[in-house]
Structure formats: structure tokens, C-alpha cells
Structure 1
């Protein structure tokens, strides 16, 4: 383990959402945020919903929403800096997460599989400088834009040591700590989707952040291209031990199809039914379904529910025999999902 650009991270506070659809997390997306803007809590979270290519009124102002969909606004109270997290769509269903420090006008991106959305955003924000590129794994839809962005911006590239990452400056291993835009992240090794896959976790007493790549999805998990079911199950169990309030920024908009599978696994799970209805409505309105949160995932993600009797019974039914361990239940579910 080693520490990258170590410094004491500033205390975090979060401001209320400046646009429509204020929400309280982590329990139920879509319900109103009830806190006061004058309250001073260790961390408050609020979300602003944005749409693709639609105009709408936001508290009386006419605004044009383009490719940025949903943001989380975080205030670093110690120095009054603001971090805003943007979702930049790429390809058919990827999201490139862009973290913008509104105070220093520096930014970082996670898994830029395509340079064009990032370069386009930078062109629209000429005062903002890209300083860091964080990579979770080596698949091209996550690293395809790295070399071009590195050449254009000279940003620092950080990625897993166990994989070949273009233009990488710093190779990361499990438990490494790095500081990006004043926020400290811890590296979690999460093999399964690929053998060297990592996730980036920012710890906070109230609202932690997790950039999970293709390991933990909203209501699902990544396919096993390189690792074993046991490895992926262990990785998910490790992430499941993070605080329930952790916001999960995964790399794909797979939530709707994942929830349809989850409902097939647990047809009587009312949390899944409610979430499926909500996400179906959101997607019909071109609204992003992310970030998720760990409390919600524990209630609605079958790959985090392998110890539940109903999930095991369905896995046994599908595999035609008794699955004697949670990793075996996971393997049965994953094989079913691959063909779902």
C-alpha cells in the first residue's frame, strides 16, 4: 500500500439541489428532500435531474439541458470549494463521470472510453482544466479515450497495476490512497469482471462515494470476462460492507434490464417492483437512473442477496440442484442473467 499525493482531505458539506426533483438519499429515490438549506449537518446530499436535449423551467428560469444528465453537488466546507459530478453519455449506454471543482476550476474523469464527450465538455468550459483520469479496468469502452485526453491535457492517469492501461502515470493496487480535487479516495481491488479491476471509494461519515466501474451495477453486476464466480462474489461482498449511504456511480445504464431480471428472481419483492416502476418512468423521460446507493442495492440487487432464502430457491430451481454456498448461488444467477 502506498499513498498518492497525500493530504488531509477537507471536511465535506453538501448543498441543496438548485434544479427540480430534490431527493433525499439513500432510502427512496424520488421522495422530497426535507432538510433546510440553513442546516449545518456533516454531509447533506441532493440531486439535480437533467434531461437529454429537452428544455424545461427550473424555478422560473428557462434552461437548455444537453448531454449532462444528473449531478451531485458537494461542498468542501473548509475552503468553500464545490465539487459537481456530471454524467457524460458515451457509446450506447456508458457514462463517463466528470468531477468538477467549481472553486479551482479543475476536473477529473472516470473511465473515459471516448475522448469526444470529455473534450466537448472542456470546450464548453474553457476555464476548467482536466487534472486526473481515473481508470477502473482495461476494457476499451473505459480506456479508449485516455491517450487522446492525455495528449490534449497532460492529465495524470491512474489505473490498476495488474492491467495494461494506456498512458498510465501511476499504477494502483489494493488499499492505495490518492487525492483528487482535494478528495481522498481508497482503492479497492474487485476482481471478477476483469482480474485487475479496481474501484475508487471516498469515505465520508454521511454520504460516501463509490466509482465501481463494471463490478457493481445498479440492480446488477458485471459479466465474468476473466475472473471466477467466487472472485466476483467476494468482490461484491467486499463492496457490500461499505456504509449503506454510499452513492454508487457505475459505468453503464443497465438499471432497467437489471431490474427486470431481479423481478424474475424475486417476483414477490415489493422493493424491486417499486424500483422497476420508478426507473421505467425515469427512462421514458430520458432521465438517468444513477447514482444508486448501497441500501437500495441490498434490497433490490439479486447479486447482493445470495443469502436470501427466496433467491437461493430460485437459483436452485434454475440450476436443477442444490447450491451449497453463496458463491454457488451467485454463479447460478450470473449464468442465468447471461442468457436472460
Structure 2
């Protein structure tokens, strides 16, 4: 079946800088039929087809051969019990509204769902950023994805290029059809809000690292906190000048934790005075300038170091993959910065 590239609704015109365009897919709907809950992976699609009010539901499969989508067929070995009945109305309830069709994006970074009123005559699509076992706040997807009709059953193609969803927009009988929109452009339209939750968590993790390393005289660093922040396979690199040459050493996560777990008669107070970040999805590079003092009341730092870190967002949240630090060298000084600690 061909894509109805020209089937744009009035409120499906480009919106804002992202230029979101919603397109309807032709899945061969006949009179009185509706389609929804489409999932796509490569050259295979699976979706549901039914009459109005979700009666006589049939699950169907569609294959793409030589670049062309073939007519849909009922799923083989389908159980007729799921084809003759009605679509269940028992849905999860959150704060007095119905919500359903929770689905993860292929990279696991977001959860998508629809939420609407109890009569199922209106619903919108929402997104929340996933961070380990927790989620950020719900974000309503922008127009023209959401509109005055009922939008539901969101999904993302396996290659991450398209977002599919069902909508009753433009249908006089209130029947749903399947639409698609560029998923990267949806995220671009949401802007910083789409990653604000994980960004705040990254900022907290970097600050927590320096807090955990610091300690009072006669104490050790907070090894338990450091263990949570370090990936088990993390590496720590340090450089120093010895015998008129630059020396580099490396420690595993366990070696670093063992070293930081030894009490020291001197205090260690870390003050991060500068931070720069570059991030791509769940990968982040952080550059920090840190002043170290033996006494928090002393005017100037005992020494200043630069730190280059790589962080990865995974099931445990943000974890440090590598840390490379270097101290100021004779004749090579860092620009002076006010001793205002970040975080």
C-alpha cells in the first residue's frame, strides 16, 4: 500500500521551526473499518483492524517486498477468540483519566502513551523521559501530532525514524486511521524539555562525584556514593610530571575505590568552578575545572586540576565510564576563576 503523502489535514501543516508534518498511511481500510496499534520493524508491519466501536477486531500482518507494501493479511495461527469480541475497556487509570498503550522507544529512553477522558471521545499522546527505573514529568506532544480528535496507540519504528499513532481526525464517522510523523523532528520540536529530566540528573551526578571525593581530616572519601556513580568497568587516568616528562597512570574502578577508601590525615575539599558539557542522547562528555583545598577556609586552592569525563546513561542512571585528570603544570596555568563552587 502506498503512503498517502498528500493526505495532510488542515492542522497537519508544518508547525514552527521543526516543520512537523503528519501523514496518513493507506492500510486498505474499507467502508466502516478502522485501523490502529501499528508496529513496524524493517519490512514487517503488524496492526489491528476493526469495525466501529472496536468490534470484530482482526490482527493483521503486512510485508514489504521489493520496496512495496503488500496487501495486509490476517495473522497466521490467530486465535479467533480475539477477533470476534470487543476491544476491552479495562484500562489503567491515572488521576481520573484513562491511560493506555504504554510503549518504550527502541533505545529505551522514552515511554509513550495516550491519556484521555472516560468516554474515549478524546485523547492525547504523551511522552516521559526514562531514567533507570524512574521517569520524568509527562510532556504532551505538540500539534499537529495532538489535536481535537482522539489520538492513541503510539509506537516508534525500529529504526527510530517514524512515530506511528492512530487518530480519528477528519473522519465523519469517528473511525481511526494510522498516521506517521518524523520522530527526530518531534523530539526537536519538544527541544530541551525532552531531555530536561536526564540533564538535571547528569548535573546532579557530576556534582555528587566531587562531593563524594571530598572528606574531612582523618576520614576517607564516600566510597559507597562513588561506587554508585562509577560504572564497574570504569577507568581513571591521572597524569603528573616526573623526571622532566609527563607520566600517565591508570586505575580500574576497584583500584580507584580502594585508594579513595583509605583515610587521610589531611582534608580534601573539592570546589568545581567551571563545567562544560557536550551530550548526545545517553552519552555525555563533561569537562570540569576543580580547585582542591586542604582547609575549606583557606583563601586560595592548594592546587587546581582539569578533568575530562565520559558518562553513560543506562539502567542504573548516569554512570562514569572514564575520568582523566591533570594538575596545573609549571608555566602552564589555568585561567583564574572565582572560588564559587558549582552544584
Does TM-score exceed 0.5, indicating one fold?
no
**Which of the pair is proportionally richer in strand?**
2
* Greater Cα radius of gyration, structure 1 or 2: 2
State the TM-score, normalized to the length of structure 1.
0.26
More helix by share: 1
TM-score by length of 2: 0.26
